[in-house]
Each structure stands twice: as structure tokens, then as C-alpha cells.
Amino acid sequence: MTVKTLQRQSARERLLAAADQLFYAEGVHVVGVDRIAERAGVTKATLYNTFGSKEDLVRAYLEQHMGRRQERIARILAANDSPRKRILGIFAEVEELLAGSAFRGCRFIMATAEARPGDASEIVAEEYRTWLRTLFTDLAKDAGATDAKQLGRRLLLLYDGAAVAARMDHDRRGAAAATHSAVEALVESAIPTKRTTRRAR
């Protein structure tokens, strides 16, 4: 690997870190490329050489976040031995995210709120939501839910709603507690509990 390649990677990492900080704090459309380049310690020309356009930088920023979420959820799935526990584990991590001091809301919801039809943020957000919807539906099927598709939709609604409520109501603890109770009740009602019964002799 050449020195130039390493330098490009380093610039890319710095630009993505700067974009993550600024976009999340202030909004995708408010923050200009000048500020991102300055925060990253590179020239504006380097930014354009690395990403081509601000739109491509926004795409990379959201794709990076999606990749991180997928990695974290993959670890949760691997750490739990049943679909029911996996669903509850995903929402336990949501509670942890809401409790974090850096939490400001869902990056995808925030970015798409500012988006125009066909913007990169809309495209990546739809990819992310399709993945989440499939994940929850598959977990519901594996758990033996009576209506897996409906349960998947409801879980996604709670997943989104937790972040929105925490942000809009300025009550992260309340949102976390309400989400926890709602998910447990939903899982309990939608997924039959296996019970062993003795055969009559």
C-alpha cells in the first residue's frame, strides 16, 4: 500500500469524523463543506478529491453509521440464544443509546427531515429501514409470532418512536422506560410462550 493511499484513507477518516460531528450536531444542510474541511484539517480540494461532492459525503456519513448499527446489532444477535431474547436485546441497546450524553436523535430521521426527494440521505435511509424491517420480521418469524409481518412493523415503529420521543419530549429516561414496557408487552402478546404439558397416564 502506497503512502498516497494511506494519506487518502487518513483524510477520508478525518472528513467522515468531522462530518459525523457537525452533521449530527447542526444538520446535514446547514453545515457547509468549508467547515467540514476545516474541522478535518484538510483543504476543500481534498474533500472534493476524496468524495466528489457534498452529496457523496452525506451518503458516506450515513452508510458509515448504518454499518456501525449493523455491527452492533450483529453482536447482540450472536450474544443471545433465542429470537425473543434477541428482540429484547436490540431494544436494551436502544435504551443505552438514549441514556448516552451524546444522544441527539436518530441520524436517519434527522437527515431525511431536511432531504429533497431523491437525495442521498433518503436513499440510504430507505436501505437502512428495509434492513431493519426485514430483521424484525425475520426475528418475529423465528420466534413463532402469529403474524410476523405485523409484529415486525410494530417493532420498527417502537424502534423509531423511542428516538423521536426522547428527542422531542426532552425526556430520554421516560422514552426508554416507555419503550421497554411497550416492547415487553408486545412480544408477550404476539409471540406464544412454549409450555410443556404432561401427558395423561
Domain 54-190: homologous superfamily in CATH = Tetracycline Repressor, domain 2 (1.10.357.10)
- What residue spans in the chain does CATH classification 1.10.10.60 cover? 1-52
The reported pLDDT for the residue numbered 8 is 57
pLDDT above 50: residue 1: no
158-186 pLDDT, tens digit each: 999 999 998 888 888 899 899 999 999 99
Distance CA 163, CA 28 (A): 18
Instruction: Determine the 3-state secondary structure of 30 from DSSP.
Output: coil
Residue-wise DSSP of 73-85: HHHHHHH-SSHHH
Domain 1-52: homologous superfamily in CATH = Homeodomain-like (1.10.10.60)
List the grid coordinates of 198: 404432561
Instruction: Say what percent of the chain tops pLDDT 70.
Output: 92
Mean pLDDT of the region 106-115: 89
Query: Per the confidence metrics, is the pTM higher than 0.75?
Result: yes
- What residue spans in the chain does CATH classification 1.10.357.10 cover? 54-190
List the grid coordinates of 132: 431493519
pLDDT above 70: residue 195: no
DSSP designation for 29: T
User: Shortest CA distance to 32 belongs to which of 40, 85, 6?
Assistant: 40
Round the average pLDDT of the chain to a whole number and report it: 89
DSSP designation for 42: S
* Better-predicted residue by pLDDT, 117 or 2: 117
pLDDT above 50: residue 6: no
